[in-house]
Amino acid sequence: MTSTCVTRHLSLIDKDCLHPIDKAAVTVAVYTGPRSNELFALTMEDVVRDFSKITARRSITQSVTFKMPKTKKGRTVLLQPPARDALKVLVADAEKCEAADLTVWLNRHESRTDHVRVLLSPKTQTRKAVVNDYFVPSAWNTKWATLVRRAEIRARSAYQTRHTYACWNLTARGNLAFIANQMGHKDYSMLVTVYGRWIDTESSKELERIWEGMQNMAQITPKLHQKVTV
């Protein structure tokens, strides 16, 4: 990802999200890379107390039906500092609301009930008398289009935040298996196929990193061998 693109995304967060909830929502999206329908189904109860990680346990459909994530199971996402700070804002806002019972469909015939407080609700900012309790992809797309237009950057879909997360992590030379797991991919083949151009396959820094690791192994291995044979 070019530095210009990074600057634009950070500008959108810092300058063009006028409401603190919008700023927090976009920050979480960019720094955790969830699918949009997973982001809107996140609840206060999905965030651990020290804000080090969240668990994506459900997703929401356009018809406001809650179901399991695309992978059919929950996944833990470890949080970078900006995401932790953003979630503190969202949790503080969610604490003001009463918990509600959400029916989460595990499959076509089975469901569970989650007693939770959803982190992102259109009711936070709306001036209308009647409004949905929960964001759905189309509602967020409208808000996202406004944010992008205000930022004066090229029009792009809200799903772009997921791509941004992937590209930032790959450009920073993150472990492919780790990134794939964070994003909820079955394996890292999707990353290679979709984001291959962001994966540096020839770098002197990578060689140095591998050599440093090999040297560390050489220092540890004799000690381990000695410990086992004594």
The 3-state DSSP class for residue 54 equals: strand
Q: How far apart are CA 110 and CA 155, in angstroms?
A: 40
Cα-based angle 53, 156, 147 (whole degrees, multiple of 5): 70
Cα-based angle 44, 47, 51 (whole degrees, multiple of 5): 125
Q: Are 58 and 68 in contact (CB under 8 A)?
A: yes
Tally the residues of the chain: 230
Q: How far apart are CA 57 and CA 68, in angstroms?
A: 7
The 3-state DSSP class for residue 216 equals: helix
Residue in this structure with the two tokens 């291959």, named with its chain if needed? 196
Task: Give me the active site residues, please.
Answer: 35, 70, 162, 185, 195
Cα-based angle 31, 37, 38 (whole degrees, multiple of 5): 55
